[in-house]
Amino acid sequence: MRADRLVATLLLMQTRGRVTAAELAAELEISVATARRDLEALSAAGIPVYPQPGRHGGWQLVGGARTDLSGLSAREAQALFLLAGPAAESSEEVKAALRKLMRALPETYRTPAQAAADATLIDPARWGAVSRERPDEVRQLQAAVVGQQRVRFDYRGAARTADPWGLIDKDGVWYLIAGTAKGQRTFRLDRLAGLEVTAETFARPDGFDLDAAWGEVVGAMEERRSRTWATVLIPARFVWVLRDHFGRHCHAGDELADGRVRVRVGAPTPLDVARTLSGWGATVEVLEPASVRAELARIGAELSARYAAE
């Protein structure tokens, strides 16, 4: 489309300052005659684009004129490139979008925006592990969410029909929040098979907020994951290890006179708590509940019976 070419021409001139019709033609994959007509059209439209004759001539924006087509402030541009920069490493579409946006920014914005894009590298693999591959269904479902197209798939052996409302990437595990005949449901993509995007469309509920919906899912899951709470005493220097093990299900109090800290930790069952704490031996003292203390005693007895003879 000609309008797209004219915008691309203007952005290219903002980036290079001066271009020839031949350079423009090569960049946009059009004929030199078409490039020349586009340049003349910009000039006729009142944009200060003028030809400069001579051996080193060309077309340029007179007086360093600038047109910020993005409408972004300097802080907004930096924030956008800070977020999108790492994603560009694995997506040609994101790379292309950032290149176009960079051309649209005023020159004074470009250096900090580029620095923001280069400031972060995402390595999704934990130490000693390989990266999780993005499920093939992600791209299909993203298009279905945007196009508001109904989908069908098998989930845990049952056929499902759903209206995809949004996708969530939680530490490399993808989830779909969707509307079904039984209301809002959440599906793990790695448990989903036979995805089909249909031609049927749907209307997303008024006021639906993906952040709020996911917050409710997380809240319900965390509640199930922390049905058993234990109070333990641990040396202050090791509290960070418990936080690493239990995450948001770890709440530390003040340090006591003996250098230990009273900590509350939670897990689905007493056995789950005991399994995590048993490796600490006597370094951790469980004050309550009795069910966790009993599980620790049982684990200790099992280990003693198996290894005492040795």
- Residue 199 sits in a domain whose CATH number is 2.30.30
What band does 102 get if pLDDT is binned at 50, 70 and 90? confident
Is the residue at 163 inside a domain?
yes
CA 245 centroid distance within chain? 23
What's the pLDDT score for residue 178? Answer: 94
Is the residue at 132 inside a domain?
no
* Percent of the chain topping pLDDT 70: 78
Output the CA torsion 187→192→196→198 (10° steps): -10
Residue that is written with structure tokens 């592990």 in the block? 129
CA 35 centroid distance within chain? 40
Is the residue at 51 inside a domain?
yes
What's the pLDDT score for residue 252? Answer: 93
Span 15-38, mean pLDDT? Answer: 83
Pair 163, 150: CB distance under 8 Å: yes
What band does 87 get if pLDDT is binned at 50, 70 and 90? low
* Percent of the chain topping pLDDT 90: 34
3-class SS of residue 121: coil
Lowest pLDDT segment from 93-107, 155-169, 205-219, 263-277: 93-107
Sheet holding 285-288, edge to edge: 250-255, 260-267, 228-235, 285-288
DSSP state of 128: T
Tell me which range, 32-36, 124-128, 254-258, is most confidently predicted by mean pLDDT: 254-258
Whole-structure pTM value = 0.54
What band does 273 get if pLDDT is binned at 50, 70 and 90? very high
Count how many domains the chain has.
Answer: 4
pLDDT digits (tens, 9 = 90+) for 167-225: 888 877 889 999 999 999 999 998 999 999 999 999 988 888 888 888 888 888 877 77
Q: Are residue 277 and residue 235 in the same domain, yes or no?
A: yes
- Residue 249 sits in a domain whose CATH number is 3.30.70.240
Which amino acid makes up residue 17?
G
Expressed as residue numbers, the domain containing 59 is 2-64
Sheet holding 18-19, edge to edge: 18-19, 58-61, 49-52
What's the pLDDT score for residue 172? Answer: 77
Is the residue at 89 inside a domain?
yes
Is the residue at 17 inside a domain?
yes
- Residue 34 sits in a domain whose CATH number is 1.10.10.10
Tell me which range, 39-48, 68-77, 219-228, is most confidently predicted by mean pLDDT: 219-228
Is the residue at 214 inside a domain?
no
Helices (H) and strands (E) in the chain, counts: 11, 12
Lowest pLDDT segment from 12-16, 88-92, 183-187, 231-235: 88-92
Q: Which two tokens stand for residue 149?
A: 């197209």
pLDDT digits (tens, 9 = 90+) for 6-17: 767 777 777 777
Is the residue at 212 inside a domain?
no
Question: Would you say residue 118 has pLDDT above 70?
Answer: no
Lowest pLDDT segment from 7-16, 49-58, 85-94: 85-94
What's the pLDDT score for residue 151? Answer: 96
Q: Are residue 269 and residue 300 in the same domain, yes or no?
A: yes
Question: Would you say residue 243 has pLDDT above 60?
Answer: yes
Is the residue at 102 inside a domain?
yes
* Residue finishing a domain among 41, 64, 87: 64
